[in-house]
Structure 1
């Protein structure tokens, strides 16, 4: 992660989405990890599979500038994380990790259904904020 943060800083990337980080943290909705120099990683936990290996997990790496403008973050599932930043209009970032082709069909259907709901909810909220209602 340190190398990724250094590269984002060098290339002036303020927000970087990460899929399948393989980090597990118990009983924490969204873990905020200090990456140094003001960089912060917001991440959902990966999950444990049948052989107790950690799989999945998504995150959003934010520069000091982006982190200062973070207004809201939400974990829709271990595979979907969103963040809203101050601005006009309000920028929203959604990072996700879809089930692989080895996953059961119902897992993929549930994932895409939830992702669709998150996007619809985000669009309706963004439109209301833009119009001022």
Structure 2
């Protein structure tokens, strides 16, 4: 398990590079922040590719200038995907996933602003 602030994986090449790096290092579950992929029509997006990993995301959001920002998700290996029981978007900045096991393992991906972010920009986030 690992966590990573991607700064963006909007482009497919960046997503594939991220998947390759996780696989190369033996990371089964990668919590990703700041993916910047907007999909407001669905609360959770599952994206499986030929490289085997599944990228599970809650939507990023648009700022005042309409630029995509934020977004949390999990990149899971094929083995972790088989163990996945459920994914739950708590807010647009918190995503949790439960995996089979004894006991069940819950993994959370949480967006957090940098130390230079304006507090007004991240207070009171909700699902969109």
What's the TM-score bracket when you normalise by the shorter of the two chains? 0.7 to 0.9
Superposed counterparts of 1:98-113, under 5 Å = 98-100=112-114, 101-104=117-120, 107=123, 110=124
Give the match for residue 14 of structure 1. Answer: 28
Give the match for residue 48 of structure 1. Answer: 62
Deviation track 1:26-61 (CA, whole Å, cap 9, x = no partner) reads 211100011323210110110011111000000100
| Structure 1: 5+ residue stretches without partners | 115-133
Q: Tell me how far apart the structure 2 counterparts of residues 19 and 50 of structure 1 sit (CA, whole Å).
A: 20
Structure 1's 91 and 46: CA in aligned 2 closer, same or farther, altered over 3 A? Answer: same
Higher CA-based Rg:
1
Give the match for residue 35 of structure 1. Answer: 49
Q: Tell me how far apart the structure 2 counterparts of residues 10 and 105 of structure 1 sit (CA, whole Å).
A: 36
Give the match for residue 111 of structure 2. Answer: 97
What is the aligned residue count? Answer: 110
Is the 1:48–1:54 contact (alpha carbons within 8 Å) kept by the matching residues of 2?
yes
TM-score (norm 2): 0.79
User: Offset at 1:82?
Assistant: 0.4
- Residue in structure 2 matching 1:61, options 75, 81, 84: 75
Deviation track 1:95-121 (CA, whole Å, cap 9, x = no partner) reads 0002443131880xx46xx9xxxxxxx
Is the 1:73–1:83 contact (alpha carbons within 8 Å) kept by the matching residues of 2?
yes
Is the 2:113–2:122 contact (alpha carbons within 8 Å) kept by the matching residues of 1?
no
Q: Select the structure that is richer in helix.
A: 1
